[in-house]
Amino acid sequence: MIAKRTFLLGAAAAALLAAAPPVYAQDAVKIGLILPMTGPFASTGRQIEAAVKLYQAQNGATVAGKKVEVIVKDDTGTPDITKRLAQELVVNDKVSFLAGFGLTPLALAATQIATQGKVPEVVMAAATSTITEASPYVVRTSMTLPQVTTPVADWAAKNGVKKAMTMVADYGPGIDAEKAFTETLTKQGGTVESLRVPLRNPDFAPFLQRVADAKPDALFVFVPAGIGSIFMKQFVERGLDKSGVKLIGSGDMTDDDLLNDMGDVALGAVTSFHYSAAHPSAENKAFVDSFKKMHSMRPNFMAVAGYDGMHLIYEALKKTNGATGGDALVAAMKGMSWTSPRGPISIDPQTRDIIQNVYIRKVERMDGELYNVEFDTVPNVKDPVKAAKK
Amino acid sequence: MTATEETAMTIGLAAEPASAGHHPAPATAARVVAALKRRRRWRPLEAVFWAATLASVLLLPSKHLILNEIAILGLFALSLDLILGFAGVISLGHAAFFGVGAYCAGLVATHGITEPLAGLAAAAALTALLGWATSYLVLRGTDLTRLMVTMGIALILGELANQMAWLTGGADGLQGIMMGPVAGWFEFDLFGTTAYAYSLSVLFVLFLAARRITNSPFGLSLLSIRDNPLRAAAVGVPVNGRLVQVYTLAAAYAGVAGALLAQTTQFVSVDVLEFHRSADVMLILIIGGTGYLYGGLVGAVLFKLLQDMLAGFTPQYWHFWIGIFLIALVLVGRERMVGGVAAAVRRLARRT
C-alpha cells in the first residue's frame, strides 16, 4: 500500500511539474504544422516536414521583419488528436497558421478550430473536394482527387478503353476519384464497375481476383500515399501484369517516394497527376536536387505541396507586412499565383482551392531509376466538383 | 499463501486462527463489515490526489485540452480496471464500448438532442446493453479465449462503423456535432475549460460510485472470483452472475468515456473503435497498476504526459522512448522504481 501511495503522490507532483507552460519568443509568427509523423501515414508527414525545412533553409526564417517559427506536432493520423493539437496550438501557442493535415478526416477535424479561432488552415495533403467548403479559412496547396482523376479518364477514353474497373480506398478522396472517373468515362460511352477497398489494413487480393475474372480493358486505382507499393506487389502476385489489363490511376499509386522500390512491375503504368519529380523545368530540378541533398530521399507530391504551402504563407505575410489577422491573410492568399516546382499554380479566389496543370505520365526508367515521365499536359485545371456547383 | 488468503489480505482481514477449523468464528461477519468500513474510509493521499486534480482546473488553464483527454482516458482505464483488476477478466477489445458510446453520443447530438447529459445517459444505456449481451460470449473460456473474443467484437464493430457510412460517416468521421451547453448553462469553449470541468465531474462521480461498489460485499465477491473462481463458486458466490454484472457495469463506464470524447471534441471517427485504443488502455493499467482504482487514473496521467512531452520533443521517434520506458517499467518493476524515487526524496528531506 505504501508504494502505491508514494506513487500517487509522485504522479500528482509529476503532473504539476510537466504542465508548466513553455516559453516562446514574443515577436515571432508561429506556424502549427500538424502531421502524421508516426503510424501508417508517416511518409506523408516525413515528406512535408522535410520540404518545410528545405523552404526555410532556402528562404531564411525571417519574413516581413518577423521570425517564422514552425512547431511540428505528430497527430499519429488520429482525428481527435489532430483536433486537440490544433486547439492547443491556437489557444496556447497563439499560432497564426495551421498547416499540414495528412488525410481528409484529419483536415476536417481541424476546420472548426480554424473558423472559431480565425486562423488560416493551409491544407498540404488532404485531397477530398469538400474540405475547402468546411471553413472559410481553409486554403489548399495540394490537389483534389477529381481534379487529377478527370484527365486520366479522358486519356483512357481516347485510347480505346471501353470497359473499365475502378478500385479505390473507401473514404472521401477515394469516392471522389471513383465518381470523377466513372462520370467522365461513361459520358464518353464507356462502362465502369466499381470496387471499394477498406482504408485501414488494405488487402487487395480478393478485389484483384474479381478484376482478373472480369478482365476489363483498364483498371483505375486510387490508394492513399504510402500504400501504392503494397498494391503493386499484390497486382503482380495475381499475375495481372501479364493479363493485358491496362493499369491506370491517379499519381498516388506511383508515388515518387516509393516508385523506385516497386521495381519493373510499375513500368508502363499510366497516371495523371499534378507533380512528378521528373517534371522538366529549372525550378523543379533545383528543388529536387536540394531536397535530395538535404534529406537523401526523392521529394514526392506531398513534399511539393508542403513547399508551396510555405511559399503561400511567406508571400501572404509579405503582403500583409507581417500582420497576422486570419481574415487579412486569407484575403492575401486568394488569387495568388506563382511558378512552383510542379509548374504554374494559383489559388482560386472563389474557392481557395488550387488551380494547377495536370500531367499525364507513364512510368519509365531514367538513369537507372523509375520515374513518372510526363507526356501530356492539361493546363490550369480547377477542382471540377466545385466548378460544377456554380 | 492461498488465493483466498490473498483476498483476505487485500481487504485487511487477519488470517483465521488455525483453531477455528471448519467452523467460521461467529465474529467473521462482523469483522468483514468492519474491514469494509475501514476500506471505505478516505485516506489522506486520496484527498491530496483529488485536491491536486481540482487545483489543475484553476491553476493550469492552458493545459485543459490535454487534461480533458487524460480525464477521459482515466475513466476508460477505470472501466477496464473494474473487470481486470477486480474480477480478473482480461480484455483486448474494450474499445468496442468506448467507440459505441462515442458514436451513440455523437448521433444523439446530430439528431437534435444537444444536451450533453442526455447523450451521456443514452450512451451509458446502449453500452450497458451491449456489455450485457456480449458478456455471455466473454464468460466462456479462459484468458486466451477472452482476449480473442473481446478483440473480435471490437474489430467487428470497427468494420461495421466503417461500412455503415450513411450512419457513421465512415472513414471520414461523423461530422457536424454541435453540443448545447452543459446543464443548459455552461457553453463549451475553445480553451477546453468547460470540457475539462465537465469530464472531470463525470469522472469523479463515476469514481465515487466505483469506489463504493468495489468496497461492498459485491466487490468482495468479485475479488474472490478473481483470486480463485472455483473456490468462490464452492463457497456459494454466483460466479457467472457476478461477472455478467460487473462486465455490464464496466461497459457502461467505457461508453460514458467514449461519449465524453465525442461531446468534448465534437467529432467521432472510426478510430474510436480501433485496436490501439484497447491496447493503450491496457498499457495505462500496466503503468498505473490494477485493483486499487487509482491505477487507471495515475497511469493515464503518466502515459499522456509522457506521450505529449516526448512527441513535442521528437515528433518522429517518440514511440521509441515510450517503448524504453515500458521495458524499464516492467523489468525494474513499478514498486521498486517508485520506491527508489521515494527513498531518494526521503534521504534528501532528511539532509535538509
> Which CATH number do you get for residue A235?
3.40.50.2300
| Residue B103 covered by a domain | yes
- Answer whether A75's CB lies under 8 Å from A85's CB: yes
Compare CB distances from A6 to B62, B272, B338 and report the shortest one's residue. Answer: B338
| Residue B9 covered by a domain | no
Higher pLDDT, A13 or B72: B72
Asked if the model's pLDDT at residue B185 lies above 80, the reply is no
Same domain, B166 and B254: yes
Structure confidence by residue, pLDDT tens digits, B321-344: 888 888 888 887 766 666 667 777
| Residue A67 covered by a domain | yes
Report the candidate in B150, B144, B108 with the shortest Cα–Cα distance to residue B250: B150
Residue contact A73–B311, C-beta within 8 A: yes
Instruction: Compare all CA atoms of chain A with the CA of B296 and give the residue at the minimum distance.
Output: A8
Compare CB distances from B48 to A9, A79, A80 and report the shortest one's residue. Answer: A9
Same domain, A165 and A239: yes
Number of domains in chain B: 2
Compare CB distances from A3 to B63, B311, B338 and report the shortest one's residue. Answer: B338
| Residue B38 covered by a domain | no
Domain hosting A93: range is 28-143+281-352
Q: What is the dihedral of CA A196, A201, A206, A207, to 10 degrees?
A: 30
A80 and B CB contact within 8 Å: yes
| pLDDT value of residue A23 | 43
Q: How do strand A191-197 and strand A163-169 relate by DSSP bridges?
A: parallel
| Residue B131 covered by a domain | yes
Residue contact B315–A73, C-beta within 8 A: yes
Same domain, B173 and B288: yes
Residue contact A104–B69, C-beta within 8 A: no
How far, in Å, CA of A62 to CA of A59, rounded? 8
Q: What is the arithmetic mean of pLDDT over B179-202?
A: 86
How far, in Å, CA of A304 to CA of A299, rounded? 7
CATH number for the domain harbouring residue B228: 1.10.3470
| Residue A153 covered by a domain | yes
- Answer whether A138's CB lies under 8 Å from A332's CB: no
Report the candidate in B235, B249, B271, B66 with the shortest Cα–Cα distance to residue A19: B66
Q: What angle do CA B279, B282, B287 make, to 5 degrees?
A: 125
Reported ipTM: 0.71
| Residue A21 covered by a domain | no
Which one of A1, A2, A8 would you mutate to disrupt binding with B, by most B Cβ within 10 Å of its Cβ? A8
Chain B nearest-CA distance from A14, in A, is 8
- Sheet of A62-63: strand order equals A62-63, A66-74, A28-35, A97-100, A121-123, A138-140
Query: Which of A 252-311 lie inside 8 A of B, CB atoms?
Result: none
Structure confidence by residue, pLDDT tens digits, B230-259: 999 999 999 999 999 999 999 999 999 999
| pLDDT value of residue A284 | 94
| Residue B263 covered by a domain | yes
Same domain, B221 and B330: no
A-chain CB neighbours of B63 within 8 Å are 19, 21
- Answer whether B180's CB lies under 8 Å from B189's CB: no
Domain hosting B92: range is 43-301
C-alpha cell read off for A244: 493485358
Stated as kind and residue range, the H or E segment containing A285 is helix A282-295
Structure confidence by residue, pLDDT tens digits, A195-253: 988 876 678 888 999 998 989 999 999 987 677 888 888 888 888 888 888 899 988 88
What is the CA A152 to chain-centroid distance, rounded? Answer: 18
| Residue B168 covered by a domain | yes
Same domain, A83 and A156: no
Residue B8, C-beta contacts closer than 8 angstroms, at least 6 positions apart: B14, B15
Compare CB distances from A84 to B69, B312, B334 and report the shortest one's residue. Answer: B69
Residue contact B267–A83, C-beta within 8 A: yes
Using 50, 70 and 90 to split pLDDT, how confident is the model at A9? low
How far, in Å, CA of B279 to CA of B288, rounded? 14
Same domain, A151 and A78: no
Same domain, A107 and A166: no
How far, in Å, CA of A63 to CA of A79, rounded? 32
Residue contact A3–B315, C-beta within 8 A: no
Report the candidate in A225, A148, A212, A227 with the shortest Cα–Cα distance to residue A181: A148
A319 and B CB contact within 8 Å: no
C-alpha cell read off for B101: 458510446
Query: Which of A 35-54 lie inside 8 A of B, CB atoms?
Result: 35, 37-38, 42, 45-46, 49
B-chain CB neighbours of A38 within 8 Å are 315-316, 318-319
Same domain, A96 and A80: yes
Residue B107, C-beta contacts closer than 8 angstroms, at least 6 positions apart: B167, B174
Residue contact A80–B267, C-beta within 8 A: yes
Radius of gyration of chain A (CA): 22
Same domain, B339 and B260: no
Residue contact B265–A80, C-beta within 8 A: yes
| Residue A6 covered by a domain | no
Same domain, B345 and B200: no
Chain A nearest-CA distance from B61, in A, is 9
Residue contact B56–A19, C-beta within 8 A: yes
C-alpha cell read off for A11: 504522479
How far, in Å, CA of A132 to CA of B282, rounded? 39
Same domain, B223 and B90: yes
The beta strands (E) that lie in chain A are given as 28-35, 62-63, 66-74, 97-100, 121-123, 138-140, 163-169, 191-197, 218-222, 246-250, 270-273, 337-340, 343-347, 354-366, 369-381
| Residue B6 covered by a domain | no
Asked if the model's pLDDT at residue B288 lies above 60, the reply is yes
| pLDDT value of residue A16 | 46
What length does chain B have? 352
Higher pLDDT, A262 or B119: B119
Asked if the model's pLDDT at residue B348 lies above 80, the reply is no
Same domain, B238 and B126: yes
A128 and B CB contact within 8 Å: yes
Same domain, B271 and B337: no
